[in-house]
Amino acid sequence: MVIGHDPMRTHQARAPRNTQIFQIILKIRPWRLEFGFLTVLPFRPMAVVYMPPVERPGLDPQDPGLLRAVAQGEVRLTGEQALSLLDAARLHELGRWADARCRTLHGDEFRTYVIDRNINYTNVCTAKCTFCAFRRDLDDHDAYTLEYEQLYEKIAELVEIGGTQILMQGGMNPELPLEWYIDLLHGIKERFPSVHVHGFSPPEFIEFVHFFDPPGSTLEDKLRWVMVRLKDAGLDSLPGGGGEIFSNPVRRKIGLGKCDAEAWLTTMFVAHSLGMFTSATMMFGHIEGLADRVHHMLLVREWQDRALRELGEGVESVDGSTHAGGCYKAFISWPFQRENTPLGRLREWGQREGELDEPYPGDVVSSLNGDGDPKSHPEFGRRLRMAGAVEYLRTQAVSRLVLDNVYSIGASWVTMGPHIGQVALSFGANDMGSVMMEENVVSAAGTTYCLNEPVLCRLIRDAGFTPAQRDNVYDMLRVHAGPESPDLQVRDWSEHRARQLHVESGSESSEIVTTSPVQLTVGAED
Ligand code: SF4
């Protein structure tokens, strides 16, 4: 049963009526029907005109009239307005408007989660990101690449608990040929035809191009050559890993050996052109400035505009055919986790007396076009400004307001903890992400949260919504309103606590990270 519905499949942000009429004239159609944001022409082929909302650059970013129009999808924030909100708006005001935008898109009743499993197929990686505690060199004693059978076993465990999707990402391992991936994908689809494979982030694809040397005269051609083969073998969609922060000065400092923003965004565009949906991510709270975060969101929005404009959006035509185009389905942001990482060893800003009264180096360097001068502050890249719960909520709320053309905003409880994840549902997030069976990347950097389905449902219900399990395209599969709901079946909540995460060792028994379990407090009254 498909209950949920992504309205962006069939409509987009409202344009002024005269602009729509102009578009229709361009499409050479004598008359039209308008349904909300969608302009439908009465004759075949049905034309769908994508028009992003208009900007009102002259308005004060904290003007309630502006924010109300943004919440309704009628007006688009400019970069300057978004930066001003991120910098100066009150936390509760940001939450209020992000929540209003979220409710416009997703209604008041349901908030979703997915049951999937993160599988990190290898930790061997040619890149040396300074924020990464997961990567290994080929000859490290704990370097691993999972055998196919180990991968299949993990997927079987996922299917057993009602899971629908795997998130498969690795390091960038030069030892693995293209055939390894193709055979793996065939093997997965043969055994688990209904499992959705959400795999291989843009940095992996860029390295595939380097490793496999595919034919083609442009990066786009080469990416398409590789991607078509993996898609034919069973790849369904791409995760947004490796987004970090797009701006050049920051990326050059933290993403050593990793693709630049242009290559990342091009990879996603190729995926969209092949009809695949993807997500976009942002990792903040390290050396970047506030303008870098906004610049990152603006780039996602800009490339999403391009995908929606040029590729269509899977909108069904009256003759039954569909536009082939994919797009970004979701945006997820989280604060940098510092444990065991080179970046985490940097000194925090504010340790010297009076330092907090001075401009933060990242803010001095950052700009809304992403091309600030790294020499404009001598401490840039040498000092950290970590993000806590408030900064996380502020950033997520602004992302909901800026990304008017992206359907879903995911709460990041994996890094922020279950209860901040719960609060995030009132700061623009509509989705709680995945039940976490295992996670190896952020857990290597010190994060320990791991939740099962009843706890995730309980968190959503306690936040004031009905939990619903979704699939990978955000259609709801099961609505948990009745007494059979996973959380309403639980009698003893004391057994439900965040479990320890484990790190892949490549052997039968995984190495357990010996951190203390985190006691959940949900349901303590039961
Ligand atoms: S973050 Fe990913 S790409 Fe970067 S070093 Fe770690 S595994 Fe490699």
**Distance from Cα 335 to the centre of ligand 1, integer Å:** 16
Q: Shortest CA distance to 292 belongs to which of 341, 342, 253?
A: 253
> Is the Cβ atom of 135 under 6 angstroms away from ligand 1?
yes
State how far the alpha carbon of 288 is from the alpha carbons of 10, 260, 380, in Å.
Answer: 36, 16, 9
pLDDT below 50 — which residues of the chain? 1-5, 7, 9-45, 315-321, 323, 500-526
**Distance from Cα 77 to the centre of ligand 1, integer Å:** 33
Residue owning the nearest CA to atom 1 of ligand 1: 132
Question: In the chain, what percentage of residues exceed pLDDT 90?
Answer: 71
Residue of 121, 136, 169, 172 best suited for mutating to test ligand 1, as the one with most atoms within 8 Å of CB: 172
| Residue 458 pLDDT | 94
CATH 3.20.20.70 fits 82-210+217-308+322-512, yes or no: yes
Q: Shortest CA distance to 197 belongs to which of 155, 144, 161, 153?
A: 155
For 50-106, write each residue's pLDDT tens digit. Answer: 889 999 999 999 999 999 999 999 999 999 999 999 999 999 999 999 999 999 999
**Distance from Cα 333 to the centre of ligand 1, integer Å:** 17
> Is the Cβ atom of 315 under 6 angstroms away from ligand 1?
no
Q: State how far the Cα of 120 lies from the Cα of 436, in Å rounded to an integer.
A: 13
Angle at 239 between CA 1 and CA 345, to 5 degrees: 135
CB 386 within 8 A of CB 348: yes
| Residue 435 pLDDT | 83
Domain residue extents for the chain: 7-51, 82-210+217-308+322-512
pTM listed for this prediction = 0.86
Q: How far apart are the first and last CA of the chain?
A: 32
Upper half-sphere CA count for residue 88 (Cβ side, 13 Å): 9
> Is the Cβ atom of 258 under 6 angstroms away from ligand 1?
yes
| Residue 501 pLDDT | 44
> Which atom of ligand 1 is least distant from the CA of 170?
7
Residue of 254, 258, 259, 340 best suited for mutating to test ligand 1, as the one with most atoms within 8 Å of CB: 258
| Residue 444 pLDDT | 60
Residues in Cβ contact with 520 at an 8 Å cutoff, skipping those fewer than 6 apart: 418, 451, 455, 493, 496, 497, 498
Residue owning the nearest CA to atom 2 of ligand 1: 171
Residue whose tokens read 């959380």:
487
For 305-341, write each residue's pLDDT tens digit. Answer: 999 988 865 544 444 445 468 999 999 999 999 988 9
Residue of 132, 256, 337, 503 best suited for mutating to test ligand 1, as the one with most atoms within 8 Å of CB: 132
| Residue 50 pLDDT | 85
| Residue 451 pLDDT | 79
> Is the Cβ atom of 132 under 6 angstroms away from ligand 1?
yes
| Residue 79 pLDDT | 98
Residue of 119, 121, 129 best suited for mutating to test ligand 1, as the one with most atoms within 8 Å of CB: 129
Q: State how far the Cα of 121 lies from the Cα of 124, in Å rounded to an integer.
A: 9
